[in-house]
Amino acid sequence: MQMRPQAARDRILIALLTIILPALPSCIWRWKEPAPPPVQAEKIDTRRWAAGVPLGGIGAGKIELLTDGSIGNLTINNNHARPIAAPRACFAALRVRAGERQIARMLRLHTDSEYGNVANAPRTLYRGAWPRAQIDFLDPALPADVQIEAFSPIIPGNAKDSSLPVTVFRFRITNRHDSEIDATVVMSWENVLGIGAGAPAWDTVDGNDQREQRIAGLRGVSFTTGRRYAGKRANAVGEYFIGARDDGATITVRRSWNAAGRNIPFWRHLTQTGKLDPSPLDVPAGSDGHYHPAAAIASRARIPKGEMREFLFVLAWFTPSFFTDQATDHGHYYTNHFDGAPAVAAYTAENLARLYRRTIEWHGIIRDSNLPGWFQNRLIDGASIMSSTTLLTKDRKFAFISDPTGGALVAAPRAADRPRALTKIF
């Protein structure tokens, strides 16, 4: 099969990565626990690009933290041909009280499709280097410095940890007020299960629902659907989980709200109290054109003058089927180790320090080398296709998705070829 020039270049770059990483001095792997290093990349100032760093394990689907702070281009439903471009109920927000002042900000730039009752961050500084993205939100009205770092584990030599369907969000809030502040970080997620698997006519949120759940030091929400399908339409069903680290902060949950509305129903209560008001008791399940379910989690804590506090959230997804035709389900490698999104989130939370450390280690190896800076950047970012357009099947076959519209797979290595395949890195 003839490869397109871009695909050929990408494979060459990843092959170089497989050679360079093992060849660099092993002494560089010795680790001391420093402060989290900044993402080394060019700053993108207050702009929205069409794409951001893909975040998600190898062959597991991905989300993107875009340059303006929004979340988009989701392929977590095995929907590479039809990414979910801009689910507006997937967002982060911040509420701060300093003295008698209460300020709430949507942590993304304003667009024409924004909810009508929110105020957006006025300026962003974005840095991205796969599999990490970092945004600083600059707002003179806020009494705090605000930074998000998002990453997904990618660890050479470890296929299990490199194929996790998960993204971790670390919010670092630094108090620059002259006294203590009260800060609340919110993450909201839209239940888009059932969207994107094939023809637009298949898209539906009917039967989608959420429930509150606590696991492994996380408190959050599981997203499910009552729909079951056969064949390619099954690619878009499964479950999600998003949770906040329960580390002494006050955590409140809004189990369901309607993402299709003009306004966010909990925004005023959040601004006034720093908490989410609970969902009404009679919340309906998803209904196309009427109720598009979403959920939100808030983590609230006091931050002394001059100090920084981290608020951590874990997003996991589990859409286990990958049909390329109506009869062949290749599955996902991660299903060998986990039985659902909550289990993925729990494993990530329990192993977070190691997963983060090992992910940034290989960045350090490249950055500490004498390779030209442009080549370092190309090695790192060129490998991002491992998260965006690949499949790692249940029986550990690796493939590029060369034709997302038809689900065609290429370069899936046979068992005898695996030592020479790109999966050798992992």
| pLDDT tens track for 78-107 | 999 899 999 999 999 999 999 999 999 999
pLDDT band at 7 (very low <50, low <70, confident <90, very high): low
218-225 and 208-215 strand pairing: antiparallel
Q: Averaged over 214-224, what is the pLDDT?
A: 95
Cβ distance 198 to 328 under 8 Å? Answer: no
- Cis amide linkage into residue 293, ω under 30° from 0: no
Over the stretch 263-316, which tens digit does the pLDDT of each residue have?
999 999 999 999 999 877 667 777 777 889 999 999 999 999 999 999 999 999
Give the per-residue pLDDT at 288: 75
Cβ-based neighbour number of residue 373 at 10 Å:
9
- Cα–Cα distances in angstroms (integers) from residue 267 to residues 91, 148, 277, in the given order: 13, 21, 9
Give the per-residue pLDDT at 281: 63
As given in the structure block, the two tokens for residue 200 are 């637009």
Please choose, from the candidates 132, 131, 174, 169, the residue with its C-alpha nearest in 3D space to the C-alpha of residue 148.
169
Over the stretch 225-235, which tens digit does the pLDDT of each residue have?
988 888 889 99
Give the per-residue pLDDT at 9: 55
Q: Averaged over 318-345, what is the pLDDT?
A: 93
Over the stretch 17-45, which tens digit does the pLDDT of each residue have?
554 444 443 333 333 344 567 776 677 88
**pLDDT exceeding 90 applies to what percent of the chain?**
65
155, pLDDT greater than 80: yes
- Its pTM stands at 0.88
Q: What average pLDDT does the structure give for the chain?
A: 86
Sheet (strand 91-98) strand order: 101-106, 91-98, 181-190, 293-303, 250-258
Give the per-residue pLDDT at 142: 97
Supply angle C-alpha 247, 109, 70, rounded to 5: 55
403, pLDDT greater than 80: no
151, pLDDT greater than 70: yes
Q: Which residue has the higher pLDDT, 165 or 422?
A: 165
413, pLDDT greater than 70: no
Give the side-chain half-sphere CA count within 13 A for 399. 23
pLDDT band at 425 (very low <50, low <70, confident <90, very high): low
Among all chains, which residue has been given the structure tokens 């296929």?
Answer: 159
How many whole angstroms separate alpha carbon 156 and alpha carbon 162? 8
195, pLDDT greater than 60: yes
Q: Which residue has the higher pLDDT, 170 or 388?
A: 170
Q: Which of 10-14, 387-391, 420-424 has the highest mean pLDDT?
A: 387-391
Give the per-residue pLDDT at 17: 55
Give the per-residue pLDDT at 417: 39
Residues facing residue 296 across a β-bridge? 188, 254
How many whole angstroms separate alpha carbon 383 and alpha carbon 380? 6
Over the stretch 46-69, which tens digit does the pLDDT of each residue have?
788 888 999 999 999 999 999 999
